[in-house]
Chain A
Amino acid sequence: MALDIYAEEMISHYEHPHNKGKLEKPDIMLHENNPVCGDEMTVYCRIENGILKEVSFDGEGCAISVGTASMLTDFAKGKSLEEIERMDFNTIKELIGIDPGPARVKCATLALKTLKGCAFLYQHKDIDIATKEL
């Protein structure tokens, strides 16, 4: 892969991430990590009538995981939980404008995985999330 993934937009989101930090009194929050990289991410959501009203993320990570988290939280805000549950790798590719390649796919999808986990948990509080492939 060339260096296209480090377009100024990605670096700018990494250096000045949007929606970064803890959200007070979230309706749902979830922590995920990427053990290979050591990236850590917590996503906080406030949900009203099935709509993601507020969302933030916190954690340590590389430019790709933090940059995509920043872009994704911007994009997801205001969307319905159903819309969030339908998001997939293509959503990320469109957002960042490039396929991150196999070595970095885990970094690029960490925020999405965590956000989708939040949406799922919120709607199915009784189901063990460990059994679901997000």
Chain B
Amino acid sequence: MLEVNKVRKDFPILDVMYDGKRITYLDSAATSQKPVQVIDRVSEYYRNYNSNIHRGIYKISEKATEEYISSKEKAAKLINSGSYSEIVYTKNATDAINLVAASWGNKNIGKGDHILITEMEHHSNIVPWQMLAERKGAVLDYVSVDKSTYTLDEQSLEMGLENNPKIFAFTHTSNVLGTINDAKRLTKMAHKAGAAVLLDGAQSVPHMKVDVNEIGADFIAFSSHKMLGPAGIGVLRAGRDVLEKMDPLITGGDMILSVEKHKSTWNSLPWKFEAGTPNVEGGIGFGAAIDYLNMIGLDDIRRHEIELTKYAIESLEGEKGLHIYGPDRLDIKGGIVSFSIDRAHPHDIATIFDSFGIAIRAGHHCAMPLVKSVLELPAVARMSFYLYNDEEEVDQAVQAIKKVKEIFHVG
């Protein structure tokens, strides 16, 4: 069992007072808070061994290099990947997806080829494919979302795969609906149709055990900042054979083996994709975040989020004028509750929550095709939970919802 009171003590921000109130942070799907263990690890690097990695032939550079590589080993282990050479550090999940679309995509997608994505994607898993399709004259297809279950429509999925797409890129967990897609099954189906698979793990890897080996996806992308680590660092994981065949997008220092006047050879993996001085402190802090997640245990975190989501949904049941968008089945739902309230615009909802000291997000959540075309809403409000949230915070959210209804004369 996750001891939330103990966990909360590790997050200094939860004790900060604004206008006499502590923050109730229900926006972890946007970015997570950081435990003192991460803050200290980054601070320790700055204080004790700040240096550039790789080339330094002196103690603190060796230590920095060691810590940076060790964070990759931790990331590899976390998702049950092979060696750290398969962990490419990027800026974030967006950057990782762009790398695949530009590098792998440029080589493997041609005129008339199909690219398959879904209607529940974040813009970061839409726009790079749109651009690629435009560059290459390829066709971008969407698997539709079944509005009654908020899951991927099976028939539409089969139809999409019948076109034998070159790649199927889909999110593991929807950042709006919370829907957890069966990544293993979808990957199997895609492979059968001859498609490579990119799994957007931005909302899944922070919240549950994700085993890329078992799932079998060719690429997975995720961000450190959504899993207790620093911003500015993310992961693209792919198998050695795939990465070997991909060209680097950014070139320069650190990513080469040798440079002659008119020709260069690439460095070994993963360094080939990490030109220039990397985000050393980001990598080191990310390692600390993974240590923390392992200490608490991802299975316990997942159970805690299911409990909280269940509690939230039960607390809101029967609330007139309130609509929740996402699967009813908690086993296929992450700790995300998107909602609307009749007559109240989501931005007004968020402002009213803010007056209670509660941080939620309102808008299209970078998923305009989902919010506008599938849900047919201009915007939605979203609460999202993580390991440090508790039932008392959900109670506060329920109070805020009642206030919204009072102000807007609902129900």
Segment from A44-52, A56-64, A69-77, A114-122 that makes contact with B: A56-64
Q: How far is the CA of A62 from the CA of B351 in the complex (A)?
A: 11
Q: Which residues of A contact B364 (CB under 8 A)?
A: 38
Q: How far is the CA of A103 from the CA of B363 in the complex (A)?
A: 13
Is residue B407 within 8 Å, beta carbon to beta carbon, of the partner chain? yes
Indicate if the CB atoms of B363 and A5 lie closer than 8 Å: no
Is residue A37 within 8 Å, beta carbon to beta carbon, of the partner chain? yes
Sorting the interface of chain A by its residue count into under 10, 10 to 19, 20 to 34 or 35 or more gives 10 to 19
Indicate if the CB atoms of B347 and A60 lie closer than 8 Å: no
Known: A11-B408, A15-B409, A38-B379. A3 touches B348 (CB 8 A): no
Is residue B79 within 8 Å, beta carbon to beta carbon, of the partner chain? no
Known: A3-B407, A6-B407, A63-B345. A38 touches B355 (CB 8 A): no
Indicate if the CB atoms of A107 and B407 lie closer than 8 Å: no
Which of B344, B345, B409 is in CB contact (< 8 Å) with A61?
B345
What is the CB-to-nearest-CB distance from A123 to chain B, in angstroms, rounded to a whole number?
33
Q: Which residues of B contact A11 (CB under 8 A)?
A: 407-409
Is residue A2 within 8 Å, beta carbon to beta carbon, of the partner chain? yes
The listed residue with most B CB atoms (<10 A of its CB), out of A2, A36, A37, A104, is A37
What is the CB-to-nearest-CB distance from A14 to chain B, in angstroms, rounded to a whole number?
8
Indicate if the CB atoms of A62 and B347 lie closer than 8 Å: yes
In the complex, which residue of chain B has the Cβ closest to the Cβ of A8? B407
Is residue B331 within 8 Å, beta carbon to beta carbon, of the partner chain? no
Q: How far is the CA of A1 from the CA of B363 in the complex (A)?
A: 19
Q: Which residues of B contact A6 (CB under 8 A)?
A: 348, 351-352, 407
Indicate if the CB atoms of A1 and B348 lie closer than 8 Å: no
Q: Which residues of B contact A107 (CB under 8 A)?
A: 347
What is the CB-to-nearest-CB distance from A5 to chain B, in angstroms, rounded to a whole number?
7
Q: Mark B371-411, 1 if CB is under 8 A from A, else 0.
A: 00000001100000000000000000000000100011100
Q: Which residues of B contact A61 (CB under 8 A)?
A: 345
Known: A1-B354, A2-B355. A60 touches B348 (CB 8 A): no
Indicate if the CB atoms of A62 and B345 lie closer than 8 Å: yes
Is chain A's interface secondary structure helix, strand, loop, or mixed overall?
loop
What is the CB-to-nearest-CB distance from A61 to chain B, in angstroms, rounded to a whole number?
7
Q: Which residues of B contact A3 (CB under 8 A)?
A: 352, 355, 403, 407
Q: Which of A1-37 contact B (CB under 8 A)?
A: 1-3, 5-6, 11, 15, 36-37
Sorting the interface of chain B by its residue count into under 10, 10 to 19, 20 to 34 or 35 or more gives 10 to 19
Indicate if the CB atoms of B348 and A62 lie closer than 8 Å: yes
Q: Which residues of B contact A37 (CB under 8 A)?
A: 347, 363, 379
Indicate if the CB atoms of B351 and A1 lie closer than 8 Å: yes
Q: Which residues of A contact B355 (CB under 8 A)?
A: 1-3
Q: Mark B321-358, 1 if CB is under 8 A from A, else 0.
A: 00000000000000000000001111110011011000
Q: How far is the CA of A72 from the CA of B308 in the complex (A)?
A: 44
Which of B351, B378, B403, B407 is in CB contact (< 8 Å) with A60?
B378
What is the CB-to-nearest-CB distance from B65 to chain A, in angstroms, rounded to a whole number?
41
Known: A62-B348, A104-B351. A38 touches B378 (CB 8 A): yes
Indicate if the CB atoms of B347 and A104 lie closer than 8 Å: yes
What is the CB-to-nearest-CB distance from B341 to chain A, in angstroms, rounded to a whole number?
12
Indicate if the CB atoms of A63 and B379 lie closer than 8 Å: no
A interface residues (Cβ-Cβ under 8 A, vs B): 1-3, 5-6, 11, 15, 36-38, 60-64, 103-104, 107
B interface residues (Cβ-Cβ under 8 A, vs A): 343-348, 351-352, 354-355, 363-364, 378-379, 403, 407-409
A3-B407, A37-B363 known, 20 other contacts, Cβ within 8 Å = A1-B355, A2-B355, A5-B351, A6-B352, A11-B408, A15-B343, A15-B408, A15-B409, A36-B363, A37-B379, A38-B363, A38-B379, A62-B346, A62-B347, A63-B348, A64-B347, A64-B351, A103-B354, A104-B347, A107-B347
Q: Could you write out 13 A-B pairs with CB less than 8 Å apart?
A: A3-B355, A3-B407, A6-B351, A6-B407, A11-B407, A15-B409, A37-B363, A37-B379, A38-B364, A38-B378, A62-B347, A63-B345, A64-B347
